[in-house]
Amino acid sequence: MRRFCLLSLLLVTGIASSWSQTVPYSPNALYEGPNSMNTWSLTVRGGSPQFFGDLREYDFWPAPHPKEYSPASERGAFGFGVDLNKQLSHLFGLSLKGDFGNLRGAKSRIYNSYFRADYYQGALVGSTNLKSLLFGPRKLNRWKIDLHAGIGVMWFKSTAYEIGTGRVQRMSNPTLTVIESDPAYTGIKASTKSMTREVVFPVGLAVSYELSPRFDLGLDIVLNNVNTEKLDATVGGDNTSMYDKTGNRGDISTFKKGNSDLDKYATPYLSLTYKFGRNAIKVGRDKVWDSSKGTYHLRNTDPRLLIKPEKILTMSEIDSIAKANRPKDIDPRLLIDSDDDGVSDYFDKQPNTPAGSIVSGAGVAIDFEQVVNSLVPGQACLEIFANIQFDTDKSVVKPEYNDMLRKVAELLNRTNCRLQLTGHADRRSSDRHNVALSDRRVQAVKKYLISAGVANPSRILTDSFGSFKPIADNSSREGQQRNRRVEIRLLP
């Protein structure tokens, strides 16, 4: 019965394991899960950058200005970007971003200036998948909402002009020029250095939708915090000098900070992302993820959704599996020992030997003394069985077994036999007590054999089963007596 239960348990465990794991686990994966995922993508972006700094007419909406001041319009700026993206996990990714474009801004009050700037920018940006963090991976499964931030470098060249005349007022990288006709007048011209370099900190929010297994369409709003006040070629201050080289706004060629905050510019981009990888697929409308159909992209799919849940079997399913794999019934004669000689009736050729008999491996009673006396030293061992019985809750060897045990010791010394001692008890106590009691009985027999002169005690093997292996009915005194035993088995 114990073997049958163990077999059923192993079978059910194996079936559940085969249902839960379909692909071998990869220790080199950058995410939790056994299934391969696509992780690289390329994004192209385009939009209209909006500058925020000293030369900005309003806080939000760009100003067109009157027709006579048309060059001062803040509208019409453009910006483009290309991103190489690597999804490290479903929740986190890295992007190498490159941008270029121009900026526009103007302010008639105080400054009476407008500016134009060309820029290039490179940045390393990390992103966090807010959609899965806030709503979970199973909801809005084709949408992706990312919060991203990073650090980069910006190269720019800016020039500020006077509104109305278009005369150059300031530059982000100027040099002084002395007009020969009027040495007292110092003019401005661009320096030989083409662009100014500054650190930039981009932060933003991107929302995208999975159009197909390869393409995502999205909107990306980025705010670039530039570590300078020179992006609009103007240092913040009051209007003490229209052509500001020496006024309170300071010398634009230095790193002196004015009275206003550092410059910023923001861009709402329309983006298109191409996802690299083999056998690309996207989740269906039924929200069922099946890795056998292809490879999902890690930016859109949590890999944990590809791990099939373990199958929880019902009792009827377990019973049907157990019945289908149940071994053939054991012949009951293997479990019955009618004459209590240690040999089951199935193999016992003499099933009615008297109580206390010593028998051969075939269950035939033998003259143990004659067997021992006839042995020649070094002779091969015969398979012999016998039982020693004990009183209730006792582990003392009865005197009636002393002579037999001395002959067993003599036989062990004359041959290369091994001796198996197995202790048992009746059912009239707890399992813990019975196992301990059967072990004490085994040790008592072993101790007697050693005192009787066994030269090599290591050949005595012991085991204890308490009341778990009865050979008779524990409801009767006779059956209890037969179960209080130590089985002796001489093995070749």
- Give residue for tokens 């005595």: 460
H helical segments located in 118-269: 130-135
If DSSP states are collapsed to H, E and C, what string results for 340-407?
CCCCCCCCCCCCCCCCCCCEECCCCECCHHHHHHHCCCCCCCCCEEEEEECCCCCCCCCHHHHHHHHH
- Give residue for tokens 């290039």: 120
pLDDT tens, position by position, 261-270: 899 999 999 9
| Res. 129: pLDDT tops 90 | yes
Query: The tokens of 444 are what?
Result: 């008592």
Task: Count the alpha carbons within 13 Å of 47 in the hemisphere toward its beta carbon.
Answer: 22
Bridge partners of residue 34, in order along the sequence = none
Identity (one letter) of the amino acid at 350?
A: Q
> What was the pLDDT predicted at 155?
95
CA 284 distance to own-chain centroid: 25
pLDDT tens, position by position, 313-323: 787 877 787 77
> Average pLDDT for residues 132-160, to the nearest whole number?
92
> What domains, with CATH codes, occur in the chain?
23-306 (2.40.160.20), 334-491 (3.30.1330.60)
Of 238-247, 327-336, 394-403, 417-426, minimum mean pLDDT range: 238-247
> What was the pLDDT predicted at 194?
73
> What was the pLDDT predicted at 404?
84
Q: How far apart are CA 277 and CA 199, in angstroms?
A: 34
Q: How far apart are CA 412 and CA 449, in angstroms?
A: 10
**Beta carbons of 401 and 442 less than 8 angstroms apart:** no
pLDDT tens, position by position, 441-476: 999 999 999 998 888 888 899 999 988 888 888 888
Query: The tokens of 407 are what?
Result: 């002959």
Q: Across the chain, what does the average pLDDT equal?
A: 79
Of 106-120, 239-253, 331-345, 412-426, minimum mean pLDDT range: 239-253
What secondary structure does DSSP assign to 262-303, as a single string? PPEEEEEEEEEEEE--SSB----TT----GGG-B-BTTT--G
If DSSP states are collapsed to H, E and C, what string results for 404-421?
HHHHHHHHHHHCCCEEEE
Nearest to 383 by CA among 465, 458, 463, 488: 488
| Res. 361: pLDDT tops 90 | no
R_g of the chain, CA atoms, integer Å = 47
| Res. 312: pLDDT tops 60 | yes
> What was the pLDDT predicted at 469?
85
**Beta carbons of 196 and 156 less than 8 angstroms apart:** yes
Name the pairing type of β-strands 143-162 and 168-171: antiparallel
Give the H/E segment covering residue 47: strand 40-47
**Beta carbons of 30 and 88 less than 8 angstroms apart:** yes
CA 412 distance to own-chain centroid: 59
Q: How far apart are CA 267 and CA 368, in angstroms?
A: 104
Range among 62-76, 79-93, 242-256 with highest mean pLDDT value: 79-93
pLDDT tens, position by position, 187-225: 555 554 578 899 999 999 999 999 999 999 999 999 999
pLDDT tens, position by position, 376-392: 555 556 667 788 899 99
Nearest to 50 by CA among 263, 262, 258: 263
**Beta carbons of 187 and 134 less than 8 angstroms apart:** no
Higher pLDDT, 168 or 205: 205
> What was the pLDDT predicted at 85?
97
Q: Is-above-0.85 flag for pTM?
A: no
**Beta carbons of 87 and 93 less than 8 angstroms apart:** yes
> What was the pLDDT predicted at 92?
95
pLDDT tens, position by position, 395-404: 999 998 888 8
Higher pLDDT, 2 or 276: 276
> What was the pLDDT predicted at 116?
93
> What was the pLDDT predicted at 72?
80
| Res. 18: pLDDT tops 80 | no
